[in-house]
Amino acid sequence: MENKEGNVKFKLFGILRLNYRPSEGEVPVKGSITLTQLLKELADRYPGIQEKLLEDEKLRPGVVLLVNGKNVLHLEELATQIKPGDTVVIFPPGAGG
């Protein structure tokens, strides 16, 4: 299997979009990583973001994470593998209307 280098795109919505700038960007990855690893990378950029999204190492109720448009609750939740070229969209609780 190839160990491709590239970027995973992310986009923040709701209150996260207001509190963290830039609200979208890219994280360089080699091969694939889990969503948990991506959230740790984002926590380095955006202090406090993990606490808004996770509780006891699980997604907080109401948090929605999409990988390429698919809800991770229908995939492998935080163990979902993401790879270069993927896009992760993050909605905190209460985002929407």
| pLDDT, position 95 | 46
pLDDT band at residue 26 under the 50/70/90 scheme: very high
d(CA 77, CA 64): 10
pLDDT band at residue 5 under the 50/70/90 scheme: confident
With respect to residue 96, please indicate whether it lies within any of the assigned structural domains: no
Q: What CATH number did the domain enclosing 49 receive?
A: 3.10.20.30
| pLDDT, position 94 | 77
Characterize the bridge pairing of strands 5-12 and 87-91.
parallel
- Mean per-residue pLDDT, 17-41: 95
With respect to residue 65, please indicate whether it lies within any of the assigned structural domains: yes
d(CA 72, CA 47): 23
Domain residues for 58?
Answer: 5-24+32-91
